[in-house]
Structure 1
Amino acid sequence: MNLRLQKELPDCQQFFDLYQTTGWKHPFNDQQLFQAISNSWFTLSAYKNQELIGFGRIISDGIYQALICDLIVKPEFRNHGVGTTILRALLEECRQHNILLVSLFSARGKSDFYKKFGFVERDASAPGMIWDQTKSPF
């Protein structure tokens, strides 16, 4: 596959259309999602011709912690190496900056994909947590 990787942000509408293919539930509109990715430390877009078919981003302090977010591949391009190419490039960016602690959120059923790259699930004795303001008592 002729895949072109680009560090610049994709077009807002193209990103929103790609994001919609995930089925992830969210209350955000296209402009809010674009603002979110615009605030990233590093982004990578994957194109086949002019079509955005994949995306991934890193939120980081640039020194020792990074969080990989929104690794998305259009359904018809999954299992063709697009996600692997994006993830490798994201991890290489972390490696080049000597970032040793890289975390991520995995969509349901996708953890085996990340395990191939050396990611491990957090130990039950040190579980991660997330705050959801819609469920918060204050």
Structure 2
Amino acid sequence: MFTTESTVPAHRIPELTDLMRTAWWMTDRTPAGIRHLLDHSDLVIAVTHQPTDQLVGFARVLTDYAYVALILDVIVAEPQRGTGVGAVLLDAVVTHPALTNVRSLELVCQPDLIPFYRRWGFTEQVGTSHLMRRTTDARLTTQPVADH
């Protein structure tokens, strides 16, 4: 019913653009930006629903292939959520042969998705680490806090 691919063919870029734009953090993605993203990601996984030939899931990975792999842009088409697409997608990422010897797979998710990612051994127990960001995106910037 679902197949995974490790590439996104050029003819699927508009479909991937539409899929990405459904997520709050990717609403400004453009086809040109997505082509660039695909060219410069270490791994990509695309999930297609076979009966309809529609792209229904996507994730990408940035990695050094030894110590850390950062899983990014995990997205499942809204009508397909709860049908197993997310599990197919995560299985394809965490069992990917290129990531077999990577010490740490990491991702950032919303709190309501923590139970989903726990199924693959992810934990929010990362010591005292905090996500930090430096961005040129004015929508995401806040007033700087003075050092103490």
Q: Which runs of 5+ in 2 are unaligned?
A: none
In structure 2, the partner of 1:76 is 79
Give me the TM-score of the superposition, normalised by structure 1: 0.84
> How many residue pairs are counted as aligned between the two chains?
136
In structure 2, the partner of 1:18 is 19
Measure the CA separation in 1 of the matches of 2:97 and 2:112: 25
Tell me the secondary structure at the aligned position of residue 127 of structure 1: coil
Within 5 Å, which residues of 2 pair with 1:1-138? Answer: 2-10=1-9, 11-49=12-50, 50-93=53-96, 96-107=99-110, 109-123=112-126, 125-133=128-136, 134=138, 135=141
Give me the TM-score of the superposition, normalised by structure 2: 0.79
Give the counterpart letter for 2:103 in structure 1. Answer: L
How much does 1:25 deviate?
4.9
Runs of 4+ more than 4 Å apart: none
Native 8 Å contact 2:17 2:29 kept in 1 = no
How much does 1:72 deviate?
0.7
1:38-84 deviation per Cα after TM superposition (whole angstroms, max 9, x unaligned): 21111111111321011111111122210001111100000111111
1:97-136 deviation per Cα after TM superposition (whole angstroms, max 9, x unaligned): 3001111121453222112221111446232322233438
Give identity over the alignment, percent. 24
Native 8 Å contact 1:42 1:57 kept in 2 = yes
Give the counterpart letter for 2:83 in structure 1. Answer: H
Structure number with bigger Rg: 2
Measure the CA separation in 2 of the matches of 1:23 and 1:131: 18
Q: Which runs of 5+ in 1 are unaligned?
A: none
Structure 1 pair 60–89 and aligned structure 2 pair: CA distance change class (3 A): same
Measure the CA separation in 2 of the matches of 1:126 and 1:84: 27
Tell me the secondary structure at the aligned position of residue 36 of structure 1: helix
Measure the CA separation in 2 of the matches of 1:81 and 1:110: 14
What root-mean-square deviation, in Å, do the aligned CA atoms of Structure 1 and Structure 2 show?
A: 2.2
Tell me the secondary structure at the aligned position of residue 90 of structure 1: helix
1:12-31 deviation per Cα after TM superposition (whole angstroms, max 9, x unaligned): 11110111122335544221
